[in-house]
Amino acid sequence: MTLRSAAPVSFDALPNPRGGAVRPAELALAEASLAFEQNQESASALLRASHALRGAGWLSAQRFADALVRLSPLAVADPSEADNVRPVFGAALRDLRAALERHNLRELSCSPTLFNHYRMLCEHLSEHTPGSGVAFEDLALTARPVPPASLHGHSADQLAHLRARYERALLPVLRSQADTGSVAALAVTHGALDELDAVFTELAGPDPYDFWRLAKACAKALRVGGRAAGDTQARRFYARCNLALADHARGGERAPHSLVRATLALLWRDYALFGASAEDADQVEVLHDYGLTVDWHVAGTQSSEMLWEAGAIEAQTISATRHSLTRDLGVLTVNANAYEDFLQTADASISALTEHARAADQPEKADPSEALQAGDAAYRLGSAACALGLGHVALLADALGLAWRRRAHAGVSTPAVRAHVIVGAPAASTLEQAAESLRATLHKVAAGVAPSGGGLTQTTLATLTRAIEQGGG
């Protein structure tokens, strides 16, 4: 029996030619596709794919596969039910297969195409399981800690004035339709967006974790990406910010955690897919403050990107047919050269992290700039692990980078700013334990043993998450 390749689809992000592949998941999804085409049971194959993705730490893709598992019985149910579900199920399965073959973990988290499929799968499931609605951040930020965000103090009169300005500007934005309308209507929309940006600027306080700073960065990213007008997620963002401003005016001191997560995911979306350039440095800095990284890119032409993508596909084909060019780490198959490069990057980063953690336990030697350097070292490790396909390593390294960022900002804040910081610096012992956990995991990777998301890694991530989101640790 020949398992055919997934049909080519158009995604936004470029494939990752040196990224790891979860072959058992790819084969299982191909088997599920064949079973689906023959109107046979596909749940067992999909479940194998889910388990393989979990083992690799590709958690957003696993969440997507789990939705397919739950919906698969309805795709072969009685004709009246299946006719409604089958097109949705088939399209989602096809595009997940195609996305997995691109080996781009950030795309698997942030692709609007995949999220739209996931949302439709969950809508069909919700008809049988009420209350199972999803949001973009549920897929994009799977298993990631997100710190709380404060609402900087302003006078009641100032907040009332700013809210009135915001509400006047909000209506044209909510009515806007992307790429439609007269020139005059577009001018009104852009003017309204300018006003919303100005209000965000006036609201933003000095705390690095002030919500309005995050909202301002998100609004700018939406405009740079051309998504501020007409995009459903953007309209929802602006409307929810109006509700948050009302809470702020009533004396609220922190933003709803669900809104912080939604705003952060929107800010990350396009940068995760397309990378960032020099003019995006301020938004990338905000992303780093919240534990997320991006790739930097040099702008190219459409034709150069097409050539790059063709070369990437060719490199993947060669790697797949020449076993000597790959290494197996459990369910993950990695490019041998990329694997060696990763080990060198990881060794330097983990040494720096260990040294910084030991120094952090000596208050007399505390240096906020060193804490920032430690965070950057963790992020370098996380980005390298993400590029190779080591999902569990990437998630833990990013969480550690976020913990160091929190510590750095707590150290440099002035007393006036510190009064608005909700969560203090994570304990030095937590940072050191996380660095040692990463070191132990990397030793396994260097020995050719697959990293696991359970055991010590799971405990460490839970401890970091508690320290970041709730304080202590």
HEC per residue, the chain: CCCCCCCCCCCCCCCCCCCCEEHHHHHHHHHHHHHHHCCCCCHHHHHHHHHHHHHHCCHHHHHHHHHHHHHHHHHCCCHHHHHHHHHHHHHHHHHHHHHHCCCCHHHHHHCHHHHHHHHHHHHHHHCCCCCCCCCHHHHHCCCCCCCCCECCCCCHHHHHHHHHHHHHHHHHHHHCCCCCCCHHHHHHHHHHHHHHHHHHHHHCCCCCCEHHHHHHHHHHHHHHCCCCCCCHHHHHHHHHHHHHHHHHHCCCCECCHHHHHHHHHHHHHHHHHHCECHHHHHHHHHHHHCCCCCCECCCCCHHHHHHHHHHHHHHHHHHHHCHHHEEEECCEEEEHHHHHHHHHHHHHHHHHHHHHHHHHCCHHHCCHHHHHHHHHHHHHHHHHHHHHCCHHHHHHHHHHHHHHHHHHHHHHCCHHHHCCCCCCCCCHHHHHHHHHHHHHHHHHHHCCCCCCCCHHHHHHHHHHHHHHHCCCC
CA–CA separation, 253 and 255 (whole Å): 7
pLDDT of 233 above 70: yes
pLDDT score, position 304: 44
What pLDDT score was predicted for residue 461?
95
254: pLDDT strictly greater than 60: yes
Kindly state the percentage of the chain with pLDDT values over 90.
Answer: 64
pTM, 2 dp: 0.89
Instruction: Say what the pLDDT of residue 8 is.
Output: 42
Contacts of 102 (CB under 8 A, 6+ apart): 11, 13, 15, 16, 19
User: Using CA of residue 25, residue 138, residue 177, residue 201, what is the dihedral sign?
Assistant: negative
Q: Which domains does the chain have, with CATH numbers?
A: 21-140 (no CATH), 156-289 (no CATH), 335-469 (1.20.120.160)
- pLDDT confidence band for 454 (50 / 70 / 90): confident
Residue with the two structure tokens 């397309």: 274
* Residue 331 token pair: 């369910």
Q: Please compute the mean of the pLDDT values over residues 226-243 and round it to a whole number.
A: 92
- pLDDT for residue 1: 36
CA gap 339, 335 in Å, rounded: 6
Are 29 and 100 within 8 A, CB to CB? yes
pLDDT above 50: residue 7:
no
Q: How confident is the model at residue 471 (pLDDT cuts 50, 70, 90)?
A: low
pLDDT at position 13:
81
**Amino acid sitting at position 141:** L
* Position 79 confidence tier, pLDDT thresholds 50, 70, 90: low
Query: Which of left, alpha, beta for 224 (phi over 0: left; psi -120 to 50: alpha)?
Result: alpha
Q: Residue 361 has what pLDDT?
A: 65
Reported as a pLDDT band with limits 50, 70 and 90, residue 322 is: very low
Better-scored residue on pLDDT, 448 or 8:
448
